[in-house]
Amino acid sequence: MKNISLLGATGSIGTQTLDIIRNNPEQFKLKAFSAGRNLDLTRKIISEFQPEFVSVQKKEDYEILKAELAGNINISYGEDGLTETAVYAHSDTVVNAVLGSVGLYPTLQAIKERKTIAIANKETLVTAGHLVMQAAKENQVALLPVDSEHSAIFQCLQGENEKNIESLILTASGGSFRDKTRAELTNVTVKEALNHPNWSMGAKITIDSATMMNKGLEVIEAHWLFNIPFDKIKVVQHRESIIHSMVEFHDSSIKAQLGTPDMRVPIQYALTYPDRLELPSAEKLNLAQIGKLHFKEMDFDRFYCLKLAYEAGSAGGTMPTVLNAANEAAVTAFLDGKITFLQIDELIENSLERHNVMKHPDLETIKAVDKETREYVHSLI
């Protein structure tokens, strides 16, 4: 039995994680969870899963829940509450499905408490991958990827010796605007950007997929998770999202992991690794019916954010922190209707250009750079 703390339970990954817990009551028990502002769903999760601890984002929501639940469950709020969820004493496994670099501190604290971490929250690895990986190594904690590309690579690497890796090949669907030219992106709307062809996901990552920043963040995520230099991480456009990613070995052999686009598969694998469980509701892949798979070279001028991410990742130090914070602020502004789609890239590039990189930043430096970058982006809007 695994006792789980779930950060971001009310989100896209969060609710799919709950699905897996619901369907396997003998394997998993939800002990603690955090939510953002979705109180209705928070109430439903409490009533269905009867956890011991819950945290919400805002104090006012905490007051409401506290009055309603009258001492039957421990409640907290804010960033402290997120950390309390992550380190909850009766949990052994943390699923980090919260959105954004707010997930960094809770992850580091959970690692110190030697929890197993299933990580979906890629912003945490992008903003401070060196701190997370170092803490995981020091505490001998397993960091299991949930992101489908990284789960695919992780699955391909089972039984392999890492020294034989030639390259990692991440696949990219191309997002909502893959068939548009850059000029055609000038007037695209939020609604159009939120319409992903293959995956149903939270709003921020759907915009990240449309700008291709999602793949950029994933390149940096892969660098940290698998300890591979940036020049050995490739991206290929693959519109069907059937091959979730690949590993190329020195002898020219390539291993791939395939499946229908369903995030419950990588979430469940992170929870059952090294074992597997049935997932009866998952659609089976019918290759004969699909017939053809397509692959295409990435165009770095068209998908400018991917280029920015490679540059920031290779520069290292605080550059990925700036990339991530500028992206989070810019995407929020786009979703709020304050900037156009193409201004997302511009704001990120501006933020990177003015930043003097600091090597080997500690947690305080990361937090300061994150905050300062968001303020800079807001000042430009």
Binding site for Mg ion (CB under 5 A): 147-149
Q: What is the largest CA-CA distance in the chain?
A: 63
Q: Least distance from C-beta 10 to ligand NDP, angstroms?
A: 4
57 binds, among Mg ion, ligand NDP, none (CB under 5 to 8 A by kind): ligand NDP
Nearer to ligand NDP, 38 or 211 (CB): 38
138 marked among binding-site residues: no
Q: In sequence order, which residues have a C-beta less than 8 Å from that of residue 73 and are 6 or more positions away?
A: 46, 51, 52, 53, 54
317 marked among binding-site residues: no
Q: Least distance from C-beta 244 to Mg ion, angstroms?
A: 8
Residue 137: other Cβ atoms inside 10 A: 11
CB 131 within 8 Å of CB 139: no
94 binds, among ligand NDP, Mg ion, none (CB under 5 to 8 A by kind): none
3 marked among binding-site residues: no
Nearer to ligand NDP, 186 or 200 (CB): 200
173 marked among binding-site residues: yes
The token duo for 337 is 């209707």
Nearer to ligand NDP, 182 or 264 (CB): 264
Nearer to ligand NDP, 17 or 237 (CB): 17
The token duo for 222 is 């892969």
148 marked among binding-site residues: yes
Q: Least distance from C-beta 138 to ligand NDP, angstroms?
A: 24
Residue closest to ligand NDP, measured at CB: 11
36 marked among binding-site residues: yes
281 marked among binding-site residues: no
- Cα–Cα distance, 243 to 187 (Å, whole number): 32
147 marked among binding-site residues: yes
82 binds, among ligand NDP, Mg ion, none (CB under 5 to 8 A by kind): ligand NDP
**Strands, DSSP E only, in 305-380?**
none
176 marked among binding-site residues: no
Residue closest to Mg ion, measured at CB: 147
149 marked among binding-site residues: yes
Q: Give the torsion through C-alpha atoms of 186, 189, 195, 200, to 10 deg.
A: 110
Residue 252: other Cβ atoms inside 10 A: 7
Burial of 250 by CB count in 10 Å (0-12 exposed, 13-18 middle, 19+ buried)? exposed
- Cα–Cα distance, 185 to 304 (Å, whole number): 12
- The strands making up 74-77's β-sheet, listed across from edge to edge, are 74-77, 53-56, 28-34, 2-7, 93-96, 116-119, 143-145
CB 377 within 8 Å of CB 333: yes
φ and ψ of 186, to 5 deg: -55, -45
Q: Least distance from C-beta 344 to Mg ion, angstroms?
A: 18
Chain residues binding ligand NDP by CB under 6 A are 8-14, 34-38, 57, 82, 97-100, 102, 120-123, 147, 199, 201-205, 263
- Cα–Cα distance, 108 to 270 (Å, whole number): 18
Q: Least distance from C-beta 12 to ligand NDP, angstroms?
A: 3
Q: 274-289 burial string, b = 16+ CB within 10 Å, else e?
A: eeeeebeeeeeeeeee
Nearer to Mg ion, 147 or 370 (CB): 147
Nearer to Mg ion, 61 or 147 (CB): 147
81 binds, among ligand NDP, Mg ion, none (CB under 5 to 8 A by kind): none
Q: Least distance from C-beta 210 to ligand NDP, angstroms?
A: 13
Q: Least distance from C-beta 82 to ligand NDP, angstroms?
A: 6
Q: In sequence order, which residues have a C-beta less than 8 Å from that of residue 191 and are 6 or more positions away?
A: none
The percent of the chain in helix, strand and coil, each rounded to the nearest 5, is 50, 15, 35
Q: Least distance from C-beta 79 to ligand NDP, angstroms?
A: 7
* Binding residue positions for 1-deoxy-D-xylulose 5-phosphate: 122, 148-149, 173, 196, 209, 214-215, 218
Q: Binding site residues for Mn(2+), as ranges? A: 147, 149, 218
Q: Which residues fall in the annotated binding site for NADPH?
A: 10-13, 36-38, 121, 123, 202
Binding-site residue numbers are 10-13, 36-38, 121-123, 147-149, 173, 196, 202, 209, 214-215, 218
